[in-house]
Amino acid sequence: MNFFIAAIAWLFDPAHYTGAGSIPSRLLEHLGFTLVTLVFASVIAIPAGYYIGHTGRGRRVAILLSGGLRALPTLGLLTLVGLWVGIGLEAPYVALTILAIPPILAGAYTGFEAIDRATIDAATAMGMSGGQVVRKVEMPLGLPLLIGGLRSATLQVVATATLAAYIADVGLGRPVFEGLKTNNYDEMLAGSILVILLALVLEGIFALATRLALRVVPTASGLQPDLTR
Amino acid sequence: MIEFRHVTKRFPGGTVAVEDFSLVLPSRKTTVFAGSSGSGKTTLLRMINRMVDPTEGSIEIDGVDVATVDPVKLRRSIGYVMQSSGLLPHRTVVDNVATVPLLRRVPRRQARTDALALLDTVGLDRALADRYPSQLSGGQQQRVGVARGLAVDPNILLMDEPFGAVDPIVRSELQQELLRLKRELHKTIVFVTHDVEEAFLLGDQVVILREGGRVAQVGSPAEILARPADDFVARFVGADRGRRALHVVTQDGAELLMDSEGRVAGVLGHGKPGTGEQPR
């Protein structure tokens, strides 16, 4: 229990709220790093997932690939890319983008696949072009599952982004690694608590977003993407 | 006028859905394709708006081969109503009806006004306009589907078992409603059903199909009933079992029409009161 009290004391120490490596700046770094990673992953995974969901092509490859990517140990990947490109932010960005792609990809294509075929058939028969079917039917109806995919990607990235501090001076992993190195367990625990709180706050935001999306799309009933496929 | 010329459709895998099918569907009349599953009736319907392209042969609308028309443009000029209403679940009733006009760049306000008027046409309360499809009954959803099919005021309306999934009472209401629309709007309607009663009720021209889209008989309901072309047609329309052969039975002083299975089909009239038991 003493550790916890000491960690909380560390968190409320005014000295840790100013200067380089202060708690607010670490939080912002962590958040920024997570966001940029998610943007990278989304730019790759959402168009690819939409393509797979709309055409039905490449599904098998996507499943194999995302299964394989998910099996990669992130720390190992980070070290490997770090050895290749050197110390800095590049390696964590690469490693965590790879971590974030599978859930987003799955969310994007299962979102399309979960739509009633009759709805899409009717939209085509009425005279929607392929692009209009994607934009006006598949994208809005697939939204709840895509948000589900983004949600699980965000949680994985925000938690694993701690590892970025392993080879770069960034994020809430810093106090954790620093504390570990200097036997300062108060600082280490305080860092973990901050990561956990951040993850919970983001989860709350996504829960709200899912609700909103379900209000816009009344048919999808709180489906979560099936990440085991 | 829609004309099928020696149309054959083979699906990948070798299934022949339609084989050498030729037929003229007259303008402003209702043609019904009737047949059981596997008779190719839906495939025939979907070839008219190029949802399916024939392997051989051609389909012409007023002399223009549909294969030469851009499919998206073609479909926007033809109304389409399907069994499961196929409404967009994330759009309100009025937005569903206005979908195609909006695709054709009709101004928003105009499209909405027209869509509301169409709800009247199909007998739906305007109060339902801003509801979502999931908040409507099956019969109401089908009416929205019909309104959507009529939204661009097409000359041709394709209907693929539109009343197949609703209960018998609603079904009969919707059929009567369609008969009224037929009289008022004078569209060329192509209707697909497996229900021969429905075919005879709605069709000016009825096409009885066997497996593989082969025509068993074409004619008006009266012609087909009076002279079934062969045993297959006779069986399909129920003439062979004498289902339509009626005889009169006097019971409780009333003259009842009975079918061959002893079910009451109707009442001809009451006999003199006082003879036998009193009619209840």
Question: How confident is the model over B256-261, as a mean pLDDT?
Answer: 73
Nearest CA distance, A219 vs chain B (angstrom): 6
- Backbone phi, psi, residue B198, to 5°: -65, -40
Question: How confident is the model over A57-80, as a mean pLDDT?
Answer: 86
Q: Tell which residue, A148, A144, A159, has the closest CA to residue A226.
A: A148
Task: Please tell me the distance from the alpha carbon of residue B136 to that of residue B133, in angstroms, as a whole number.
Answer: 5
Angle at B269 between CA B268 and CA B273, to 5 degrees: 155
**Partners of residue A137 in chain B, C-beta under 8 Å:** 88
Q: Do B84 and A140 touch (CB under 8 A)?
A: no
pLDDT in tens, B197-211: 899 999 999 999 998
**Within an 8 Å CB–CB cutoff, is residue A15 touching chain B?**
no
Q: Do A127 and B84 touch (CB under 8 A)?
A: no
Question: How confident is the model over B183-201, as a mean pLDDT?
Answer: 92
| CA B234 from centre of chain | 21
Q: Which residue in A129, A137, A218 is closest to B132 by CB distance?
A: A218
Q: Which residue in A125, A136, A141 is closest to B49 by CB distance?
A: A125
What is the reported pTM? 0.82
Band of residue B240 on the pLDDT scale cut at 50, 70, 90: low
Q: Do B82 and A118 touch (CB under 8 A)?
A: yes
Residue B245, pLDDT score: 67
pLDDT in tens, A72-112: 888 888 888 888 888 888 889 999 999 999 999 999 999 99
- Reported as type and span, the H/E element at residue B58 is strand B56-61
Residue B279, pLDDT score: 47
Residue of B nearest to A125 (CA): B75
Question: How confident is the model over A4-33, as a mean pLDDT?
Answer: 87
Band of residue A1 on the pLDDT scale cut at 50, 70, 90: low
Q: Tell which residue, B228, B251, B249, has the closest CA to residue B239.
A: B228
Residue of B nearest to A215 (CA): B90
Residue B100, pLDDT score: 92
Q: Is residue A123 a contact partner of residue B88, using CB atoms and an 8 Å limit?
A: yes
| B169 contact partners, CB below 8 Å, separation of at least 6 | none
- Backbone phi, psi, residue B52, to 5°: -130, 135
Q: Do B87 and A122 touch (CB under 8 A)?
A: yes
Task: Give the pair of three-digit tokens for residue A166.
Answer: 């392993």
- Backbone phi, psi, residue B103, to 5°: -60, -30
Task: Please tell me the distance from the alpha carbon of residue B7 to that of residue B45, in angstroms, as a whole number.
Answer: 12
**Within an 8 Å CB–CB cutoff, is residue A213 touching chain B?**
no
Percent of chain B exceeding pLDDT 70 equals 92
Q: Which residue in B46, B85, B100 is closest to A127 by CB distance?
A: B100
Q: What angle separates helix A185-216 from helix A2-12, to the nearest 10 degrees? A: 70
Q: Which domains does chain A have, with CATH numbers?
A: 25-216 (1.10.3720.10)
| B263 contact partners, CB below 8 Å, separation of at least 6 | none
Q: Which domains does chain B have, with CATH numbers?
A: 2-237 (3.40.50.300), 246-280 (no CATH)
Q: Which residue in A127, A128, A219 is closest to B134 by CB distance?
A: A219
Residue B272, pLDDT score: 52
Q: Is residue A90 a contact partner of residue A169, using CB atoms and an 8 Å limit?
A: no
Question: How confident is the model over B235-264, as a mean pLDDT?
Answer: 73
Count Cβ neighbours within 10 Å for each residue of B237-258 and write b for 16 or more, e otherwise: bbbeeeeeeeeeeeeebeebee
Task: Please tell me the distance from the alpha carbon of residue B174 to that of residue B180, in angstroms, as a whole number.
Answer: 10
Residue A227, pLDDT score: 37
Rounded to the nearest integer, the mean pLDDT of chain A is: 87
Band of residue B260 on the pLDDT scale cut at 50, 70, 90: low
Q: Tell which residue, A199, A187, A177, has the closest CA to residue A3.
A: A187
Band of residue A44 on the pLDDT scale cut at 50, 70, 90: very high
Task: Please tell me the distance from the alpha carbon of residue B152 to that of residue B146, in angstroms, as a whole number.
Answer: 12
Residue B187 vs residue A168, higher pLDDT:
B187
**Partners of residue A139 in chain B, C-beta under 8 Å:** none
Q: Do A119 and B89 touch (CB under 8 A)?
A: yes
Mark out the alpha helices in chain B (DSSP H runs).
41-48, 71-76, 93-97, 99-103, 108-121, 138-150, 168-185, 196-202, 221-226, 231-237
Residue by residue, DSSP assigns B178-236 as HHHHHHHH--EEEEEES-HHHHHHH-SEEEEEEGGGEEEEEE-HHHHHHS-SSHHHHHH
Percent of chain B exceeding pLDDT 90 equals 62
Instruction: Name the range with the highest mean pLDDT among A23-27, A134-138, A222-226.
Output: A134-138
**Within an 8 Å CB–CB cutoff, is residue A114 touching chain B?**
no
The contact set of B with A (CB < 8 A) is 46, 49, 51, 72-77, 80, 82, 84-90, 99-100, 103, 132, 134, 148
Instruction: Give the largest CA-CA distance in chain B.
Output: 74
Residue B242, pLDDT score: 60
How many C-beta neighbours within 10 Å does residue B264 have?
A: 11
Residue A167, pLDDT score: 84
Task: Give the pair of three-digit tokens for residue A173.
Answer: 């992993």
B63, B199, B226 from B240: Cα distances, Å: 40, 18, 12
pLDDT in tens, A114-123: 999 999 999 9
Residue type at position B212: G
pLDDT greater than 60 at residue A224: no
**Within an 8 Å CB–CB cutoff, is residue A219 touching chain B?**
yes
pLDDT greater than 60 at residue B275: no
Which neighbouring-strand residues pair with B267? B256
Band of residue A14 on the pLDDT scale cut at 50, 70, 90: confident
Task: Please tell me the distance from the alpha carbon of residue B214 to that of residue B193, in angstroms, as a whole number.
Answer: 16
